[in-house]
Amino acid sequence: MKKLAFHTMILAFCCGMMTSALAQEQKAAAAQAPAAQPPQETVCFESRKGASEVTKRDLQPGWPNVKCSPKTGAALWYGDPYDGTVPMGKMPGLEKIPEGHAVVKPRSEKLAILPMCATACHNGVGPAFNPPKLPKDKKPIPIPTMEGLLPDAKDLQHGRGRIWCLDCHHTTKRNMLVDNYGDPVSIDQPQLLCGKCHGDKMRDWRDGIHGKRIGEFASTGKKRWFTCTECHNPHNVQDGARNKGFVQIAPEAPPQLPKGMKDAKYERVHGIAH
């Protein structure tokens, strides 16, 4: 009996040592294992890359704010079309739309150096010994800082050589645009600037023929309006050799036809006989 008890005690001791060693190994392995990486953010663009982008997130469990195309990275569907928007503000020709029913997504917050433009260099004051002077003509001059920000500053791809920076940017409030009367315009209301030259497109945009908007279907329903610079790059609107206002993106693949259907010729025929 004594031998049996002794062997039992030895066996229990060995099992305890093995369990302790195994636990230590598991702790060491857990410490050496790389920390779990947070899920990578999904960012998709709404109109053109770099102009209006939205980061995917859940508005509520299982309900994302946006769905993105896995091929092009473009926004395909919105869980809340008004997410991150603000009222458009006063707009000629839209007086009949109830207040707050026309909203836009502000872009000024995406322009990192915008707040400094009117306070650091282009504030219209300058030192007393060297007051600021506006250029006497529209001929481009070498400004290294501007060339760093805008490579095409000497050959602006907008207006075919007929316009320059201060036709669009306010002379002393450089963080704002300028209208026909010389009054400052918010960077979030570029349509008030673009309409100076593009009156026909302005009317079409206002009437819903040109541009994009999402939201309620009713004519006076709440909608998010996409402004000019969300779709067009004002500094390269001619788009090089194409001389157009859009850089083309790869289209989505066509949807698959229902099983048993060989082609889509049925779409050429109106569903209701006239």
User: Quick one: pLDDT band at residue 204, thresholds 50, 70, 90?
Assistant: very high
Alpha carbon distance 274, 179 (integer Å): 49
pLDDT at 223 exceeding the cut of 90: yes
pLDDT tens digits for range 8-55: 555 555 555 555 555 565 665 555 655 656 668 888 888 877 777 888
pLDDT at 240 exceeding the cut of 80: no
pLDDT tens digits for range 142-197: 666 666 666 667 777 788 778 888 888 887 787 889 988 889 999 899 999 999 89
Is residue 208 within 8 A of residue 224, CB to CB? The reply is no
Alpha carbon distance 82, 105 (integer Å): 8
What pLDDT, on the 0 to 100 scale, is given for residue 96? 85
Is residue 42 within 8 A of residue 55, CB to CB? The reply is yes
pLDDT at 119 exceeding the cut of 80: no
**Entry pTM:** 0.69
Rounded to the nearest 5 degrees, what angle is found at the Cα of 51, between the Cα atoms of 46 and 57? 50
pLDDT tens digits for range 255-273: 777 788 888 777 777 656 5
pLDDT tens digits for range 168-177: 888 778 788 9
pLDDT at 247 exceeding the cut of 70: no
Alpha carbon distance 260, 21 (integer Å): 64
